[in-house]
Structures are given as structure tokens and as C-alpha cells.
């Protein structure tokens, strides 16, 4: 990894962190279209930062550490807002609060695991797994679907069955991703 600290990719990661409270504010105020625009902008920054880092050969330790933090802040705050803020279609589908807590506890457990491994002198290589990438993409897709429902006040019963199916897959993949990291951290460490 390069010694250069602040790259274009890292700036995009920082932008995602800075956009999270703006997204929350728009959701709280009920500005769903603006919130959707900010969500898409932040999600695009998530796709671009890693691509640019590899393309420009500017992968840094700072970027590798900040990217998963930015993802978690962005995704968990989006899910939390959707769980606690009553949107236009809230009478049909609301993110369960237990899922938000599940995500928070999962991330805290992963952080504690990393700290334990670091204190034990284990070399820690911070990079996402394929399961983690797929899980993040599914979580972003699911949030995007909810925004579409909120913006267009779409209440088709078939669409909401689809939401429940996608939500079930998101829950399953989030759990699988957690157990994969736990396995890697505690059984496959070097």
C-alpha cells in the first residue's frame, strides 16, 4: 500500500461519511426525493472509490480502514432512519428495529474481534470478502427499493411481497457475512 495518505478514492470515502448525516436529515424532514438523490450519490461513491484506488494504483491503509467504516455508517444509518421514520408506505412495510440492532451488534462484534486479534499480535489484512461485497450490494439494493416505494408512494401488494423476500435475503446474507468474518478471524488466521 502506498504511503500517500489522501487520495481521490479516500476523498470519495470521506464524502460518503459526510453525506450520511445529510441523508438522515433529508429523511427526517420527509424530503424523500432529495434523500434518494443523496443515497444514489453516496452509493456511487462506494462503487467508485475502490475502483479508482486500483485503477490509479493509490491503495492506502487509510482508505482500506475508512471504506468499511464509511459503508457501515452509511448503511446502518439508512436502515435506522427507515426503521424509525414513518414514510409514505410505512403502513405496509417498516424495517424491523431488531434488524437495525442486529447490524449494530454485528459490527461491534467484528470490531471487538479485530481488536482482540490485533492485541494478540495477529497480522490483520483489511479487505472485504466476496460475501461481504454481495451483502453490501443487496443492502443498498433493498434501501433503493424502499426509496422507490416512498418517492412514488407505491403500495402494490406484489411489490411488498417482493420487498419481504428481498429483506429475508438481506437478513440471511448479513448473517452469513458475519459468520464468514468470524470464521476467517478465529479459525483461519495466520
Write the pLDDT tens digit of every residue in 37-75: 999 999 888 888 877 777 777 777 777 778 888 888 889
d(CA 12, CA 8): 6
d(CA 67, CA 128): 10
CB 15 within 8 A of CB 45: yes
d(CA 15, CA 9): 10
Predicted confidence (pLDDT) per residue in 117-157, tens digit: 778 777 776 677 888 889 989 999 999 988 888 887 776 77
Residue 87 has pLDDT above 80, yes or no: no
What Cα–Cα distance (Å) separates residue 70 from each residue in 83, 91, 119, 148, 189? Answer: 20, 31, 24, 23, 25
Full-model pTM: 0.83
Give the domains, in start order, of the chain with CATH numbers: 8-187 (1.20.120.1760)
CB 147 within 8 A of CB 35: yes
CB 62 within 8 A of CB 5: yes
d(CA 5, CA 140): 28
How many angstroms separate the first and last alpha carbons of the chain? 20
Regarding predicted confidence, which is higher, 75 or 89? 75
In this structure, how many other beta carbons lie within 10 angstroms of the beta carbon of residue 39?
23
Give the rounded percent of residues in the chain with a pLDDT score beyond 90: 22
Amino acid at each position: 500500500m502506498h504511503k500517500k495518505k489522501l487520495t481521490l478514492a479516500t476523498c470519495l470515502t470521506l464524502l460518503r461519511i459526510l453525506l450520511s448525516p445529510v441523508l438522515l436529515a433529508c429523511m427526517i424532514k420527509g424530503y424523500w426525493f432529495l434523500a434518494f438523490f443523496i443515497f444514489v450519490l453516496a452509493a456511487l461513491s462506494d462503487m467508485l472509490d475502490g475502483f479508482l484506488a486500483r485503477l490509479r494504483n493509490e491503495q492506502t491503509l487509510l482508505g482500506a480502514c475508512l471504506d468499511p467504516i464509511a459503508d457501515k455508517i452509511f448503511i446502518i444509518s439508512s436502515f435506522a432512519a427507515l426503521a424509525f421514520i414513518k414514510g409514505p408506505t410505512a403502513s405496509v412495510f417498516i424495517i424491523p428495529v431488531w434488524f437495525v440492532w442486529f447490524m449494530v451488534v454485528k459490527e461491534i462484534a467484528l470490531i471487538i474481534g479485530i481488536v482482540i486479534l490485533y492485541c494478540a499480535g495477529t497480522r490483520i489484512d483489511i479487505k472485504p470478502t466476496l460475501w461481504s461485497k454481495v451483502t453490501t450490494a443487496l443492502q443498498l439494493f433493498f434501501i433503493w427499493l424502499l426509496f422507490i416505494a416512498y418517492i412514488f408512494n407505491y403500495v402494490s401488494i406484489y411489490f411488498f411481497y417482493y420487498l419481504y423476500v428481498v429483506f429475508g435475503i438481506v437478513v440471511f446474507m448479513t448473517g452469513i457475512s458475519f459468520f464468514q468474518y468470524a470464521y476467517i478471524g478465529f479459525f483461519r488466521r495466520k
